[in-house]
Amino acid sequence: MSDVVIVGSGNAALCAGIAALESGSKVTILEIADEKEWGGNSRYTAGAMRFAYNSIDDIKPLLLHPDDEKLKITDFGSYTKDKFLADLQHFNEGVTLTDLQKYLVDNSLTTLQWLGSHNIKFAPIYSRQSFLKDGRYVFWGGLSLEAEGEGDGLVHEELKEFKRLGGEIVFGAGVTKIIMESDKVSEILYTKSDQQLSIKTSAVVLACGGFESNKELREKYIGANWGKAKVRGTRHNMGHGLKMATDCGAALNGFFGGCHATPMDLNMPEYGNLEIPHIERKHYRKISYLYGIMLNANGLRFVDEGLDLRNYTYAQFGKAVLEQPNQFAWQIFDAKVWDILYGEYKTHDASFEIANTLEELVEKLEGVDKIQALKTIQEFNESVDESNEFDPTIKDGRSTKSLTLNKTNWANKIDTPPFRAFPVTGGITFTYGGVKINTDSEVLNEEGEPINGLFACGEMAGGIFFYGYPGGSGLTSGAVFGRNAGYSASKYIQALK
């Protein structure tokens, strides 16, 4: 018997577990993966968490090193609740801000503070979210902090805290069914080592991810090309939680055709790899496209690479790549921007071509219309308006003119050798559609009523992200609604006693 059973062991699940234990409940986590692969998608992330803050005074208490001298020359600016809401609204494409989105923003800072009270500490993201300008580190895009040790460090610390508080975790436990009696959760069935097992419980929190690892469901909901998508994270997110929830009468919610997908090295493995050090798991990511251009197999550009700051486009541009012929593209850069490209472009395992002339580079681009590719680069160079100074810390307005598809920011001529080209495809991170929940993380049925004893959080919850998302919101959402689910499940249990 367990008061609360949580399915999954990523950030959302562990936050739910910590909150439920904190509230006095007996908690068991069931995780389908073994002790090597636990942690869901969270272990593959860079650990960045977006939250609303007014000044450095909100940031310092969250840091492992709040007395770091570097902070004296750091400008975090502010990222208000209104700005966070506006960023979410930007990706809703006409959908009114939902109650879940408002709850996410309102509770973002307090949730990070709560994590801090449970020994989770953070660090400024100097390497990816700031530029040195006039002797000061200037942060951009509303994203300032990452968990110490990135996503891997985050969930390891959360698991340590979960166990310290008395929680139990069972690895290799594949949940198969939630049993309802008299319209209430009463038992959960799972398999382990070919045995059929069960736990009596009155509350289940589903925190077992979306359907991004399921080729058939990707093709069904997102599109035919998505069968070829690389999976950036765990291979275990097959959509089983959605099936179990709907079997209990849960309503679905959100945009099932939407997902977080980023440009990734064309030669990356089919799934994420936990066997390599966590710091190397980002090596396959290729998201400095805004400082160059991207060409498809026809030798044409297909997105405005400078549409917005990276945090607001990278999760959408993986989809754009997958919509191209043969689901790949080449990212083209010259030497002028080499120093500001992210570190993953410079690792030993990065796939790229290099040449001293554009003609030589284009000849090396496999699978591309080479004549058109060279023409596209030349026309791009001719159209660059250099009247605005290049400034990667802001949307600098340095653009092209008179192209069918203009680049609106950070447009530099590609004219300084050596030239480099990186082959990319789209890698899916997580899906946006899920079960319908309320702001108490209770799963709702088709009539909009809570299903007694059933809760959901993380990727399982739909209606939080729609046509995109501001970077770093995923882990924050998991923590906010995971914590909420744990508290709500415990409150439900206490009401039964």
CA dihedral 105, 111, 112, 114 (to 10 degrees): 160
Burial of 165 (0-12, 13-18, 19+ CB in 10 A): middle
Query: How many CA atoms lie less than 13 Å away from 27 in the CB half-sphere?
Result: 32
Share of residues in the chain with pLDDT > 70 (%): 99
Where does the pLDDT of residue 258 fall: very low under 50, low under 70, confident under 90, or very high at 90 and above? very high
pLDDT at 459: 98
Summary mean pLDDT of the chain: 96
Model confidence band, residue 274 (pLDDT cutoffs 50, 70, 90): confident
Count CB atoms within 10 A of the CB of residue 1.
Answer: 9
Residue whose tokens read 């400024």: 124
Say yes or no to pLDDT of 184 above 80: yes
**In the numeric block, which tokens belong to residue 64?**
């492992």
d(CA 130, CA 173): 42
* Whole-angstrom distance, CA of residue 189 vs CA of residue 391: 56
Classify the phi-psi angles of 47: left when phi > 0, otherwise alpha if psi is within -120 to 50, otherwise beta.
left
Q: Provide the 3-class DSSP secondary structure of residue 187.
A: strand
Cite the DSSP H helix spans in 331-434. 358-363, 370-383
As given in the structure block, the two tokens for residue 302 are 């297909």
- Asked if residue 424 lies in contact with residue 330, where contact means CB atoms within 8 angstroms, the answer is yes
How far, in Å, CA of 109 to CA of 366, rounded? 47
Q: What is the mean pLDDT of residues 55-71?
A: 97
The yes/no answer on whether domain 260-427 falls in CATH 3.30.565.10 is no
Taking the C-alpha atoms of residue 304 and residue 291, their distance in angstroms, rounded to an integer, is: 11
Question: Can you tell me whether residue 493 is helix, strand or coil?
Answer: helix
Lowest mean pLDDT of 98-112, 132-146, 148-162, 266-280, name the range: 266-280
Crossing angle (nearest 10°) for helices 108-117 and 99-106: 50
Q: Given the structure tokens 């997908």, which residue do they identify? A: 261
The pLDDT score that the predictor gives to residue 413 is 98
Q: How many other CB atoms are found less than 10 A from the CB of residue 445?
A: 16
CA distances from 221 to 175, 210, 214 (A): 24, 12, 11
pLDDT band at 283 (very low <50, low <70, confident <90, very high): confident
Per-residue model confidence (pLDDT) at position 473: 97
Question: Is pLDDT above 90 for 95?
Answer: no
DSSP letter string, 426-480: EEEEEES-EE-B-TT-EEEBTTSPEEEEEEE-GGGB-SS-SS---TTHHHHHHHH
Where along the chain do its domains lie? Answer: 4-212+432-496, 260-427
N-term to C-term CA, the chain: 14
Which pLDDT tens digit goes with each residue over 425-473?
Answer: 999 999 999 999 999 999 999 999 999 999 999 999 999 999 999 999 9
101 SS3 class? helix
| Average pLDDT score over residue span 206-221 | 97
The amino acid that residue 377 corresponds to is I
Question: What confidence score (pLDDT) does residue 275 get?
Answer: 79
Higher pLDDT, 281 or 254: 254
Place of tokens 């709907």: 246
Residue 183: per-residue pLDDT? 95
Look at residue 94 in the predicted model and tell me its pLDDT.
85
C-alpha span between 179 and 188 (Å, rounded)? 6
Residue 497: predicted pLDDT? 79
* The two three-digit tokens of residue 229, written as one number: 């998508």
- The per-residue pLDDT for range 8-56, each reduced to its tens digit, is 999 999 999 999 999 999 999 999 999 999 999 999 999 999 999 999 9
Model confidence at 349, in pLDDT bands (50, 70, 90)? confident
**Cβ contacts of 316 within 8 Å, gap of 6 or more:** 261, 467, 468
377-422 residue pLDDT tens: 999 999 999 999 999 989 999 999 999 999 999 999 999 999 999 9
* Predicted pLDDT of residue 276: 76
Nearest partner of 394 among 410, 377, 418, judged by Cα: 410
pLDDT in tens, 474-491: 999 999 999 999 999 999
Query: What are the residues whose beta carbons fall under 8 Å from the beta carbon of 224, sequence distance 6 or more?
Result: none
Indicate the CATH number of 4-212+432-496 among 3.30.420.40, 3.40.190.10, 3.30.10.20, 3.50.50.60.
3.50.50.60
pLDDT beyond 80 at 279: no
pTM value?
A: 0.92
pLDDT at residue 311 tops 90 = no
Q: Which helix (H) or strand (E) holds 243?
A: helix 240-247
pLDDT value of position 174: 98
Angle between helices 473-496 and 99-106 (to 10 degrees): 100
Amino acid occupying residue 75: D
Structure tokens at 276: 């390599």
Question: In whole angstroms, what is the distance from residue 382 CA to residue 413 CA?
Answer: 8
Instruction: Find the mean pLDDT for residues 128-154.
Output: 95
